Chain A
Amino acid sequence: QVQLVESGGGVVQPGRSLRLSCEASGFTFSNYDMHWVRQAPGKGLEWVALIWFDGSNKNYADSVKGRFTISRDNSKNTLYLQMNSLRAEDTAVYYCAREDHGGPYYWGQGTLVTVSS
């Protein structure tokens, strides 16, 4: 069965960097587009970034463009999110999700990122 396991979250100071990982199993990772979606505490879902199945195209929300980088290693079945210049408003649970039926379909359980001094 499809499994997505995020890791790399934690507490980080404003202005610092953090890299999230999402390990995929149960499907052919290299065949699917992948998303990062986040949810601030008590708030709604916010789409963050998308990467095509082969890494050839990447799209970002305006709120993270220029600071975050989505990437993937299809040989390791792993999705990444490099987050630089972190701000308090980046505090959220970060989910990775596999695209299917045209949108994020299979979701991980999320990893919490807290940006605080």
Chain B
Amino acid sequence: SYELTQPPSVSVSPGQTARITCSGDALPKKYAYWYQQKSGQAPVLVIYEDSKRPSGIPERFSGSSSGTMATLTISGAQVEDEADYYCYSTDTSGDHRVFGGGTKLTVL
């Protein structure tokens, strides 16, 4: 079955740039999406179609994709950005959606 691979954890100091990667064989052909989940809350979509930002999401969140890797970048990370981040995409058939294993972002 199709898998998306993320690093388990990323740590940055406040104001630094955080980068979270997601690798998958179908990413050259399929969009990547990024979700933020804070403890005890439902996930929130922060990036869709590789690099677009839904309304209400701060400009410090951006996304990119190249080859088999998608990247979520948080420029000038803030303490409130501490959360688990998940990438999401589909396999080449489009029949199966999948989440990456998640990355715990620590900002301290």
Chain A residues within 8 Å of B, Cβ to Cβ: 35, 37, 44-47, 50, 59, 61-62, 95, 101-105, 107-110
Residue among B84, B86, B88, B100 facing the most chain A CB atoms (10 A cut-off): B88
Q: A44-B99, A47-B96, A101-B52 are in contact. List 17 more A-B contacts (CB 8 A).
A: A35-B97, A44-B84, A44-B100, A44-B102, A45-B102, A62-B1, A62-B96, A95-B42, A95-B43, A101-B33, A101-B49, A101-B54, A103-B48, A105-B54, A107-B42, A107-B43, A108-B42
The distance in angstroms between the C-alpha atoms of A4 and B86, with both chains bound, is 21
**Which residues from chain B contact A47 at a C-beta distance below 8 Å?**
88, 96-99
**Interface hits, B1-37 → A, CB 8 Å:** 1, 31, 33, 35, 37
Q: How large is the interface on B (under 10, 10 to 19, 20 to 34, 35 or more residues)?
A: 20 to 34
Which chain B residue has the least Cβ–Cβ distance from A44? B102
Contacts of A35 in B (CB 8 A): 97
Q: Which of the residues A45, A59, A61, A62 comes within 8 Å of B43, measured between beta carbons?
A: A45
Asked whether A102 lies within 8 Å of B97 as measured between CB atoms, the reply is no
Contact assessment for B37 and A45 in the assembled complex, using a CB-CB cutoff below 8 Å? yes
| CB-defined contacts of B48 to chain A, threshold 8 Å | 101-103
